[in-house]
Protein backbone atom coordinates (compact mmCIF):
# COMPACT_ATOMS: atom_id res chain seq x y z
CA UNK A 1 0.00 0.00 0.00
CA UNK A 2 2.93 2.32 0.63
CA UNK A 3 3.83 2.68 -3.08
CA UNK A 4 0.39 1.98 -4.54
CA UNK A 5 -0.21 5.55 -5.74
CA UNK A 6 3.24 5.96 -7.35
CA UNK A 7 4.84 2.57 -8.15
CA UNK A 8 8.24 2.41 -9.78
CA UNK A 9 9.99 -0.07 -12.08
CA UNK A 10 11.30 -2.02 -9.07
CA UNK A 11 7.76 -2.45 -7.75
CA UNK A 12 6.44 -3.57 -11.16
CA UNK A 13 9.28 -6.08 -11.44
CA UNK A 14 8.50 -7.42 -7.97
CA UNK A 15 4.82 -7.74 -8.86
CA UNK A 16 5.67 -9.70 -12.02
CA UNK A 17 7.88 -12.08 -9.99
CA UNK A 18 5.08 -12.55 -7.46
CA UNK A 19 2.52 -13.30 -10.18
CA UNK A 20 4.94 -15.76 -11.79
CA UNK A 21 5.41 -17.50 -8.45
CA UNK A 22 1.65 -17.71 -7.88
CA UNK A 23 1.17 -19.14 -11.37
CA UNK A 24 3.92 -21.74 -10.87
CA UNK A 25 2.63 -22.84 -7.45
CA UNK A 26 -1.12 -22.69 -8.08
CA UNK A 27 -1.49 -26.44 -7.47
CA UNK A 28 0.38 -26.46 -4.16
CA UNK A 29 -1.58 -27.22 -1.01
CA UNK A 30 -1.13 -27.57 2.73
CA UNK A 31 -1.32 -31.24 3.69
CA UNK A 32 -2.07 -31.52 7.37
CA UNK A 33 -2.44 -35.31 7.18
CA UNK A 34 -4.04 -37.49 9.81
CA UNK A 35 -3.73 -35.73 13.12
CA UNK A 36 -5.42 -37.52 16.02
CA UNK A 37 -6.16 -34.31 17.89
CA UNK A 38 -6.03 -31.04 16.00
CA UNK A 39 -4.37 -28.41 18.15
CA UNK A 40 -3.28 -24.90 17.33
CA UNK A 41 -0.02 -23.46 18.66
CA UNK A 42 0.96 -19.85 18.07
CA UNK A 43 4.19 -17.92 18.53
CA UNK A 44 4.30 -14.13 18.62
CA UNK A 45 7.13 -11.59 18.71
CA UNK A 46 7.71 -7.87 18.27
CA UNK A 47 10.70 -5.66 17.59
CA UNK A 48 10.32 -2.39 19.50
CA UNK A 49 10.74 0.79 17.39
CA UNK A 50 12.68 -1.12 14.75
CA UNK A 51 11.78 1.10 11.79
CA UNK A 52 14.31 3.94 11.88
CA UNK A 53 12.14 6.19 9.69
CA UNK A 54 9.09 6.43 11.94
CA UNK A 55 10.05 4.39 15.05
CA UNK A 56 7.06 2.11 14.59
CA UNK A 57 7.49 -1.39 15.97
CA UNK A 58 7.21 -4.51 13.84
CA UNK A 59 5.24 -7.51 15.06
CA UNK A 60 4.71 -10.98 13.75
CA UNK A 61 3.33 -14.41 14.43
CA UNK A 62 3.20 -17.97 13.20
CA UNK A 63 0.42 -20.46 13.93
CA UNK A 64 0.87 -24.22 13.68
CA UNK A 65 -1.83 -26.86 13.33
CA UNK A 66 -0.05 -29.88 14.76
CA UNK A 67 3.44 -29.46 13.26
CA UNK A 68 2.26 -27.68 10.10
CA UNK A 69 2.46 -23.87 9.81
CA UNK A 70 -0.96 -22.66 8.63
CA UNK A 71 -0.79 -18.91 9.22
CA UNK A 72 2.05 -16.42 9.47
CA UNK A 73 2.42 -12.66 9.27
CA UNK A 74 4.84 -9.86 9.93
CA UNK A 75 3.94 -6.20 9.63
CA UNK A 76 4.41 -2.75 11.08
CA UNK A 77 2.14 -2.19 14.03
CA UNK A 78 -0.75 0.25 13.61
CA UNK A 79 0.38 2.64 16.33
CA UNK A 80 3.57 3.93 17.92
CA UNK A 81 4.35 2.06 21.13
CA UNK A 82 6.21 3.54 24.08
CA UNK A 83 7.89 0.38 25.35
CA UNK A 84 8.92 -3.08 24.25
CA UNK A 85 6.24 -4.53 26.56
CA UNK A 86 3.55 -2.52 24.76
CA UNK A 87 4.88 -3.63 21.36
CA UNK A 88 4.83 -7.27 22.49
CA UNK A 89 1.31 -6.85 23.87
CA UNK A 90 0.01 -5.46 20.55
CA UNK A 91 1.63 -8.34 18.70
CA UNK A 92 0.10 -10.89 21.08
CA UNK A 93 -3.35 -9.30 20.60
CA UNK A 94 -3.08 -9.62 16.80
CA UNK A 95 -1.92 -13.22 17.21
CA UNK A 96 -4.84 -13.99 19.52
CA UNK A 97 -7.30 -12.62 16.94
CA UNK A 98 -5.80 -14.85 14.24
CA UNK A 99 -5.81 -17.84 16.59
CA UNK A 100 -9.50 -17.34 17.42
CA UNK A 101 -10.39 -17.06 13.73
CA UNK A 102 -8.54 -20.28 12.92
CA UNK A 103 -10.15 -22.02 15.91
CA UNK A 104 -13.60 -21.09 14.56
CA UNK A 105 -12.67 -22.37 11.08
CA UNK A 106 -11.48 -25.69 12.52
CA UNK A 107 -14.64 -26.04 14.57
CA UNK A 108 -16.67 -25.68 11.37
CA UNK A 109 -14.68 -28.49 9.72
CA UNK A 110 -15.10 -30.80 12.70
CA UNK A 111 -18.82 -30.25 13.16
CA UNK A 112 -21.30 -32.89 12.14
CA UNK A 113 -24.34 -31.50 10.37
CA UNK A 114 -27.47 -33.58 9.94
CA UNK A 115 -30.42 -32.57 7.80
CA UNK A 116 -33.56 -34.66 8.04
CA UNK A 117 -36.54 -34.00 5.85
CA UNK A 118 -39.84 -35.55 4.92
CA UNK A 119 -40.95 -34.68 1.45
CA UNK A 120 -44.25 -36.26 0.43
Sign of CA dihedral 70, 75, 78, 83: positive
- 59 closest CA partner among 84, 36, 38: 84
Give residue 106's pLDDT.
84
Give residue 15's pLDDT.
92
Band of pLDDT at residue 8, cut at 50, 70 and 90: confident
Q: Would you say residue 98 has pLDDT above 90?
A: yes
pLDDT tens, residue by residue, 34-69: 666 678 889 999 999 887 788 889 999 999 888 888
Q: Would you say residue 102 has pLDDT above 50?
A: yes
Across the chain, mean pLDDT equals: 84
Inter-residue contact 109 to 43 (CB < 8 Å): no
Segments making up each domain of the chain, as ranges: 38-117
Band of pLDDT at residue 111, cut at 50, 70 and 90: low
Q: What is the pTM of this model?
A: 0.66
* Between residues 6 and 75, the one the model is more confident about: 75
Query: What are the two backbone dihedrals, phi and then psi, of residue 31, each rounded to the nearest 5 degrees?
Result: -110, 100
DSSP E strands in 35-118: the ranges are 40-47, 58-65, 68-76
Q: Would you say residue 120 has pLDDT above 60?
A: no
Counting residues of the chain whose pLDDT is more than 70, the rounded percentage is 84
Residues 102 and 105: their CA atoms lie apart, in Å, by 5
- Residues facing residue 40 across a β-bridge: 65
Give residue 113's pLDDT.
56
Amino acid sequence: MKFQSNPGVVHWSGLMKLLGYLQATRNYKLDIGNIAEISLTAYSDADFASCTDDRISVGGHIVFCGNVPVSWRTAKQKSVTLSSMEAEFLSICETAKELMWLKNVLEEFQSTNVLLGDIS
